[in-house]
């Protein structure tokens, strides 16, 4: 199967700073690729390369086997890459529906088609397991998990077939984290979306990941499917550093 | 949707508590009752509330401040300020008068003045958006510059700061009582013998249009999003910079409308025209529930705020036993109280 998105030897330099060095990994549709790494591992830079904010300094990014070169976030979005950032890009004082359609409103003539937008919002949220009772309420009234779901549902509705989730569980309480994990599972079950799940929570990665990529100090330490990676070593892999040598021998021995 | 058992019947009271205008509705009721009581005590009830001249006094002020407050509230919802509105009234009036004195036909003079002021708004907007300077600072600069430039021009060309254009304004059709009054469609009030100044009618029309735009169009959505969280808005494709620039252009155009109307009705352009009106408009917007931090507020609220301001402002003249200076004290407290009330109501929304 051709990967939905593939990084081949991608590097990114900012002046004399090496943010990412020789990154390679693959993401397939209908699968969750967990991208693990500690703070400062280069996750943010990677997201920015994926979402068209930055262009790689070296190497290439392939979209369904075709090399691409996003010059702007807009290009990445129209190529079907949807990024759900940690801050979710939501407006707390605006309604659920208005948030869902912000920037891409459905109009009837000059005016907003609120009934249609309300219906779609309810339907799309229900697909991911959230029942929105009243989509005209401000999203300030929703839980953190529900907001995350809203941001994900929005990205999918507007054509994302590669969904990048930037630490979707990190800012939430336990119960809401589970809610979000359930949402991500539902997205996977839709079948045609490739999910890049960025996290530093090895438990969450283990629960959901079909493939894993470990990022440490700008480099991919290991990459592979569930079978190829020793699940018990997720945590040390993430920590990198001192464990590095030990793991290298382990993987070269497979 | 109606059969959804998860919809709590929150009732009219709880539902309306999440409207930004709520505070100003209370405020208006309180102000009206207060001044009805005070005027009854001083025996001037009829003069303020029933006499056409008394009603004109506060309705026309409300319209004047209200037109500016439309611009002020739109900008505040988008997270910006325009302190130069009052000064731009003088700039528009002087520009219009200078065009007339140079022999430009009145219709063309109106169009040119609007283009000039819209361009000024464009410049202000571009400076704010490109430099990232707070609009408070940028428009403070134009608070000085606009009025200064207006007076400089009139001094240079006509050697006077107040420009009389009575001779350049055509008499009304069929003569009329005052040959200096305007017969054109633009300032139609006296020409058609309607009871209020043209401002009042423009005001009512504008309120409906703008309220509709803010609530029912994508552009209205973008205004709220630009002020609520500009980074988030940009991330979903809202053209935040363009929205803000367009709002500064609306703000200067509204000042232009008032500047031209003032010249037309008074027959002269005064360099003091619109002095401090920007603060009155911002006060109306704050009373009407606009958050200084952006993303929240309503044009209808600002309109109610303008009404509150005007009733309090003119009403004090009908209540001789209260010192006129106390009005400013009262207005100050009114702004403070409204801001507190609105903050409380806003918190209620986020907490649900």
The chain A residue lying nearest B1, using CA atoms, is A133
Query: Could you say which of B212, B236, B349 has the minimum Cβ distance to residue A93?
Result: B349
> Over the stretch B120-132, which tens digit does the pLDDT of each residue have?
999 999 999 999 9
Above 90 in pLDDT, residue B352? no
Query: Could you say which of B18, B218, B222 has the minimum Cβ distance to residue A107?
Result: B218
Helix (H) or strand (E) holding A33: strand A32-37
Q: How close is the nearest chain A Cα to the Cα of B292, in Å?
A: 14
d(CA A20, CA A35): 14
d(CA B53, CA B196): 10
Cα angle for residues B296, B298, B302 (degrees, 5° grid)? 120
CB pairs under 8 A between A and B: 89
Q: What is the pLDDT of residue A172?
A: 81
Q: How close is the nearest chain B Cα to the Cα of A91, in Å?
A: 6
Residues B92/B207, Cβ–Cβ less than 8 Å: no
Contacts of A14 (CB under 8 A, 6+ apart): none
For CA atoms B88, B89, B92, B97, the dihedral sign is negative
Q: Which domains does chain A have, with CATH numbers?
A: 5-252 (3.40.50.300)
Q: What is the pLDDT of residue B186?
A: 67
Q: How far is CA B232 from the centre of its chain?
A: 29
d(CA B140, CA B145): 9
Mean pLDDT value across chain B = 86
Kindly list the distances between the CA atom of residue B94 and the CA atoms of B140, B152, B261, B298, in Å, as whole numbers in the listed order: 20, 10, 12, 32
Q: What is the pLDDT of residue B4?
A: 46
Q: Are residues B236 and A89, on separate chains, in Cβ contact within 8 Å?
A: yes
Sort out which chain B residues have CB atoms less than 8 A from A94's CB and list them: 221, 224-225, 228, 295
d(CA A53, CA A75): 10
**Would you state the structure tokens that stand for residue B295, as one six-digit string?**
């993303």
Q: Using pLDDT thresholds of 50, 70 and 90, give the confidence band for residue B96.
A: very high
Name the one residue in this structure whose structure tokens are 């009106």.
B277
Helix (H) or strand (E) holding A34: strand A32-37
Sort out which chain A residues have CB atoms less than 8 A from B228's CB and list them: 91-94
Q: How close is the nearest chain B Cα to the Cα of A139, in Å?
A: 8
Residues A254/A54, Cβ–Cβ less than 8 Å: no
Q: Are residues A93 and B237, on separate chains, in Cβ contact within 8 Å?
A: no
Helix (H) or strand (E) holding B259: helix B240-266
d(CA B259, CA B267): 12
The structural domains of chain B, with segments of one domain joined by +, span 53-345
- Tell me, yes or no, if B177 comes closer than 8 A to chain A by beta carbon: no
Residues B31/B316, Cβ–Cβ less than 8 Å: no
Q: What is the pLDDT of residue B265?
A: 81
Q: Are residues A112 and B217, on separate chains, in Cβ contact within 8 Å?
A: yes
Per the document, the length of chain A is 254
Contacts of B271 (CB under 8 A, 6+ apart): B90, B94, B147, B150, B151, B154, B161, B162
Cα angle for residues B194, B269, B207 (degrees, 5° grid)? 45
Q: What is the pLDDT of residue B225?
A: 94
Regions of chain A with pLDDT less than 70:
231-248, 253-254
Is the ipTM beyond the 0.85 threshold? no
Cα angle for residues A198, A199, A204 (degrees, 5° grid)? 115
Reduce the DSSP state of residue A112 to 3 states and report it: strand
> Over the stretch B53-74, which tens digit does the pLDDT of each residue have?
889 899 999 999 999 999 999 9
Q: Which of A90, A91, A150 to mutate to test the interface with B (most CBs of B within 10 A)?
A: A91
Q: Using pLDDT thresholds of 50, 70 and 90, give the confidence band for residue B2.
A: very low
Name the one residue in this structure whose structure tokens are 């806003």.
B346
Q: How close is the nearest chain A Cα to the Cα of B227, in Å?
A: 9
> Over the stretch B274-306, which tens digit does the pLDDT of each residue have?
999 999 999 999 999 888 888 888 899 999 999
Name the one residue in this structure whose structure tokens are 């704050």.
B286
Q: How far is CA B323 from the centre of its chain?
A: 27
- Tell me, yes or no, if A93 comes closer than 8 A to chain B by beta carbon: yes
Above 80 in pLDDT, residue B95? yes
Q: What is the pLDDT of residue B15?
A: 54
Identify which of A218-222, B161-165, B341-345 has the greatest average pLDDT.
B161-165
Q: What is the pLDDT of residue B32?
A: 93
Question: Which of the residue ranges A201-205, B226-230, B313-317 would you say has the lowest mean pLDDT?
Answer: A201-205
Q: What is the pLDDT of residue B5?
A: 47
Query: Could you say which of A85, A89, A112 has the minimum Cβ distance to residue B216?
Result: A112
Identify which of B21-25, B124-128, B182-186, B323-327 has the greatest average pLDDT.
B124-128
């Amino acid at each position: 199967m051709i990967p939905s998105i593939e990084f081949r030897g991608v590097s990114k330099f900012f002046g004399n700073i090496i943010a990412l060095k020789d990154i390679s990994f693959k993401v397939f549709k209908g699968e969750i690729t967990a991208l693990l790494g500690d703070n400062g591992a280069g996750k943010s830079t990677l997201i920015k390369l994926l979402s068209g904010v930055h262009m790689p300094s070296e190497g290439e990014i392939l979209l369904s086997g075709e090399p691409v070169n996003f010059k702007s976030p807009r290009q990445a979005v129209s190529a079907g890459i949807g990024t759900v950032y940690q801050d979710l890009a939501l407006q707390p004082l605006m309604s659920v529906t208005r948030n869902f359609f912000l920037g891409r409103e459905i109009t009837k003539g000059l005016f907003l088609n609120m009934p249609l937008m309300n219906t779609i919002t309810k339907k799309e949220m229900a697909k991911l397991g959230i029942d929105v009772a009243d989509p005209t309420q401000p999203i300030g009234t929703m839980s953190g998990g529900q907001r995350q779901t809203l941001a994900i549902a929005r990205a999918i509705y507007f054509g994302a077939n590669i969904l990048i989730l930037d630490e979707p569980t990190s800012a939430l309480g336990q119960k809401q984290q589970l809610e979000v994990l359930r949402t991500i599972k539902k997205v996977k079950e839709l079948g045609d979306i490739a999910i890049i799940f960025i996290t530093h929570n090895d438990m969450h990665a283990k629960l959901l990941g079909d493939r894993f990529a470990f990022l440490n100090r700008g480099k991919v330490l290991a990459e592979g499917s569930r079978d190829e990676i020793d699940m018990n070593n997720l945590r040390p892999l993430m920590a990198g550093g001192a464990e590095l040598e030990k793991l290298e021998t382990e993987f070269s021995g497979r | 949707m109606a059969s959804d058992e998860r919809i709590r019947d929150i009732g009219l009271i709880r539902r309306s508590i999440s409207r930004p205008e709520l505070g100003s509705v209370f405020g208006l009721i309180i102000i009206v009752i207060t001044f009805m009581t005070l005027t009854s005590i001083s025996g001037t009830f009829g003069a303020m509330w029933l006499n056409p001249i008394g009603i004109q006094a506060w309705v026309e002020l409300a319209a004047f401040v209200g037109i500016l407050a439309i611009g002020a509230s739109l900008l505040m919802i988008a997270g910006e300020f325009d302190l130069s509105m009052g000064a731009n009234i003088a700039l528009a009036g002087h520009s219009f008068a200078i065009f007339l004195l140079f022999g430009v036909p009145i219709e063309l003079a109106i169009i040119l003045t609007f283009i000039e002021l819209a361009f000024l708004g464009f410049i202000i907007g571009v400076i704010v958006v490109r430099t990232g300077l707070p609009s408070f600072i940028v428009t403070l600069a134009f608070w000085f510059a606009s009025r200064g430039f207006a007076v400089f021009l009139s001094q240079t060309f006509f050697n006077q700061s107040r420009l009389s254009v009575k001779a350049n304004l055509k008499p009304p059709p069929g003569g009329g009582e005052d040959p200096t009054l305007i017969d054109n469609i633009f300032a139609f009030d006296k020409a058609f013998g309607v009871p209020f100044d043209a401002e009042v009618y423009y005001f009512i029309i504008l309120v409906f249009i703008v309220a509709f735009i803010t609530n029912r169009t994508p552009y209205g959505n973008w205004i709220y999003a630009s002020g609520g969280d500009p980074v988030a808005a940009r991330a979903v494709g809202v053209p935040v910079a363009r929205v803000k620039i367009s709002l500064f252009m609306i703000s200067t155009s509204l000042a232009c409308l008032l500047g031209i109307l003032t010249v037309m009705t008074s027959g002269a352009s005064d360099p003091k025209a619109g002095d401090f009106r920007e603060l009155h408009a911002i006060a109306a917007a704050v009373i009407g529930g606009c958050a200084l931090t952006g993303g929240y507020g309503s044009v209808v609220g600002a309109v109610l705020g303008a009404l509150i301001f005007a009733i309090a402002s003119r009403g004090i003249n009908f209540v001789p036993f209260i010192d006129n200076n106390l009005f400013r004290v009262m207005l100050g407290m009114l702004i403070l109280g409204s801001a507190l009330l609105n903050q409380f109501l806003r918190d209620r929304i986020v907490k649900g």
